[in-house]
Amino acid sequence: MDALDVGTDFYHRLANRDERQGDGRHNAVEFRKKYLKGLDDPAAWENDDVYIVLDFSNVKKLGPSFANEAFAYFTRYSKNKSLVKKKINFINISKVKEETIDVELESGYKR
């Protein structure tokens, strides 16, 4: 599967949870619905062939609220952080951004 260049194809600053946060543009809900909708189905979590690769090489900022809404949202299907990160494979990601995602996955989805 080809990787999605998140910073180029979506936006380089991932900070807004939804349309009510910040300027409301390029938000996590929009990202999740556009790129991760295939994972928003219980059957996808039973099928090893369903996953996405996200290339973070062009992402300059990742905020916790974006990470929670876009990625921790999927803890509704699995509380196992490793499985979520297998379904959403992050490449070329800094340690700080990866830690932000890990913290949100461990704490679970908060809406």
CA dist., res. 109 & res. 111, Å (int): 6
Taking only the tens place, the pLDDT of each residue in 22-62 is: 888 999 999 999 999 999 999 999 999 999 999 999 999 99
Reported as a pLDDT band with limits 50, 70 and 90, residue 85 is: very high
Q: Give the pLDDT score at 28.
A: 98
CB-based contact 78:111 (threshold 8 Å): no
CA dist., res. 12 & res. 78, Å (int): 28
